[in-house]
Homo-oligomer: A and B are copies of this chain.
């Protein structure tokens, strides 16, 4: 059974005439008769009643005609679809976001990408820590990851997007919230809300480094998994926190953001893809995303921060 049999049968069924059908197919009439007969023999069903004067479909032939048409159309469609997938016009892209960038990037990217690539299915996964994104990228469940470097893995390409300073999140009622900026050392005795330490959060490490640099280590520490939860905890007066500056796009009543005076601690935001990623769809989405955030540049051989401890 080959598509040729279906094409020939459809032509005969539509013309109800072997001669005209053969002409339409640009073949002679005898082979057409042969192939249709072969099709019937293969199916074990008579599809056409032939007489020298007229050709007409049997009930089974009529049903088979509809199916055959659908199959031939499906073959064409499948080919065209493959071309479109290859051109990056349709498909599916899975994008992960680090927690502290979730609330700034996701809404913006979702809106822009949905507008630019209406036939591309987007899977946006927020609140993913760097190690989770790395393994998801490697195993293919993620195509693009916006993460906090370092993320050095032989199978990944990582490109730096920007650096941003750490800022303080304070309850609005907190005395230090009255000032324009706060000095980190003044937070020495405050309880801290942090990202979970055991998941290798890069921001968690950066916060500890910053504190250590001004000579203290946060005493009471509450760990929360999500950025929104962290800010809500601060708003509830449970403590203070240090977060990347872009988190201030997340406005929660009762919490306020203040720059850190005299502290230069920064965290980076990078975008990672599989090395040798050839998908034109990923390339297009990536190009659009980087356009939004300012040009990205490849991460140099030297890591920007030392690898996480533990």
Contacts and interface: CB of A to CB of B under 8 A. Distances in A.
* Chain A residues touching B, range: 35 or more
A59 B281 contact: yes
B74 A1 contact: no
Contacts of A60: 82-83, 85-86
Interface in A1-28: 1-4, 6
Contacts of A278: 49, 58
A64 interface: yes
B70 A74 contact: yes
A249 interface: no
Contacts of A67: 74, 77-78, 81-82
Contacts of A296: none
A297 to B, nearest CB: 27
B71 A85 contact: no
A40 to B, nearest CB: 9
Main secondary structure of the interface of A (DSSP, over half): helix
A91 to B, nearest CB: 6
Interface in A53-73: 58-61, 63-64, 67-68, 70-71
One complex includes copies of this chain to the number of: 2
A47 interface: yes
B83 A1 contact: no
A208 interface: no
A294 interface: no
A287 to B, nearest CB: 17
Nearest to A66: B78
A59 B91 contact: yes
Given A45-B83, A59-B85, A86-B46, A75 B71 contact: yes
Nearest to A46: B86
A61 B91 CA distance: 12
A165 to B, nearest CB: 39
B4 A45 contact: no
A161 B61 CA distance: 32
A1 B71 contact: no
Contact of A78 (B64, B78, B86, B281): B64
Contacts of A42: 79
Contact of A75 (B1, B44, B46, B58): B1
Given A2-B4, A44-B83, A45-B83, 6 more contacts: A47-B82, A58-B279, A59-B85, A64-B79, A64-B81, A70-B74
11 contacts: A1-B3, A1-B75, A6-B75, A44-B86, A47-B82, A58-B278, A59-B85, A59-B91, A59-B279, A59-B281, A71-B74
Interface of A: 1-4, 6, 42-47, 49, 58-61, 63-64, 67-68, 70-71, 74-75, 77-79, 81-83, 85-86, 91, 278-279, 281
Q: Which 8 A-B pairs have the closest CB atoms?
A: A67-B78, A60-B85, A60-B86, A64-B82, A45-B86, A60-B82, A45-B82, A2-B2
